[in-house]
Amino acid sequence: MDGKRIEGNEVYALAMCVSILLFAPIVVSQPIPADKSQVEAWFNGIIKPVKERGTTLDPELVQAETEPRIIKVMQGGGGEFDTITKAIESVPSGNAKRVIISIGPGSYKEKIRIERNKPFITLLGDPKNMPNLTFDGTAKQYGTVDSATLITESNYFVGANLNIVNSAPRPDRKMVGAQAVALRVSGDRSAFYNCKIIGFQDTLCDDRGNHFFKDCHIRGTVDFIFGSGTSLYLNTEIFVVGDPEGDPEMAIITAHARESSSEDTGYSFVHGRITGTAKDVFLGRA
């Protein structure tokens, strides 16, 4: 993507961005610019230190960001843990402080779950050598929404500079339960920056809550952004993998689960682009 990559020392401020964008009054007077070239300046103007934005943020978030803890995960030594799962397990239930899990390069074959009682967790990779979070779970094994490589159920989660991949085989018309989710986001006020979310059918379960995606790449085939979330996708690439037989009904981007026009949920895509190998694509279906 063309957006700014997220370095470690920027996460403290960026962790609060989703609350600012989705809940703070400042956004009403500073809408996203229509000119894409002005988006970064607009974004950087909104992202400010806690002391400058404290009155527009949730008090619990302001308190959480005052003394962040950093945990290092490295394969082969050099960190406090060698797996992401072990690092998450070290975070206490009822956690009230930002915990930044800094993940070293490499491929981490893990099925990762951050439970609801562990808010304020950040998974941070190196933008120059992004870690691969990969697993091959399928709906047949776990059920669709629980097949995800990474499941975040807690509030105020942040993911930055990550490759999140479900490596299960591409479903065909004969396979049963072959849906394979890469990421499920079920917590409120969560944000993702410079992440690649890769799969085939049902890649991203934007499940419920308010979410923000910036400078991301999301890849899939059918219904690969689905759920009941309320989310903003800014400067994000949607890559549609074409059907080998050219069936256009096998190239559908979104499948939002909203059941009534009175619901205030939905997905907004701003200054993004649709690319891929599919010749014909449906933007969405109910």
**pLDDT at residue 3 in the model:** 47
Residue 248: pLDDT band (50, 70, 90) is low
Q: How many other C-beta atoms can be found within 10 angstroms of the C-beta atom of residue 273?
A: 12
Average pLDDT, the chain: 88
Domain residue limits, the chain: 8-284
Nearest to 65 by CA among 19, 126, 112, 127: 19
Q: Do 52 and 15 touch, CB atoms closer than 8 A?
A: no
Closest to 13 (Cα-Cα) out of 70, 98, 88: 98
pLDDT tens string 180-236: 999 999 999 999 999 999 999 999 999 999 999 999 999 999 999 999 999 999 999
Q: What is the pLDDT of residue 44?
A: 80
- Cα dihedral 266, 37, 190, 267, rounded to 10, equals 10
pLDDT tens-digit series, residues 123-148: 999 999 999 999 999 999 999 999 99
**In angstroms, what CA-CA distances link 112 with 109, 115, 138?**
9, 10, 14
Report CA-CA distances (Å) from 96 to 6, 37, 62, 103, 121: 24, 37, 10, 21, 10
Q: For position 95, what pLDDT does the model report?
A: 96
CA triplet 94, 61, 65: central angle to 5 degrees?
Answer: 90
Identify the band that residue 9 occupies on the pLDDT scale cut at 50, 70 and 90: very low
What was the pLDDT predicted at 114? 99
pTM of the model: 0.90
* Active-site residue identified among 206, 207, 215, 223: 223
Confidence bin at 12 (pLDDT 50/70/90): very low
The architecture CATH gives domain 8-284: 3 Solenoid (2.160)
Task: Give pLDDT, residue 162.
Answer: 97
Phi-psi region of 164 (alpha: psi -120 to 50; beta: other; left: phi over 0): beta
Q: What is the largest CA-CA distance in the chain?
A: 56
Asked if residue 22 has pLDDT above 60, the reply is: no
Position 64 scores a pLDDT of: 85
What is the pLDDT at residue 175?
A: 84
pLDDT digits (tens, 9 = 90+) for 95-124: 999 999 999 999 999 999 999 999 999 999
Euclidean distance between CA atoms 192 and 122, whole angstroms: 10
Please give the residue that has the higher pLDDT: either 140 or 44. 140
Residue 173: pLDDT band with limits 50, 70, 90: confident
* Active-site annotation holds for 202: no
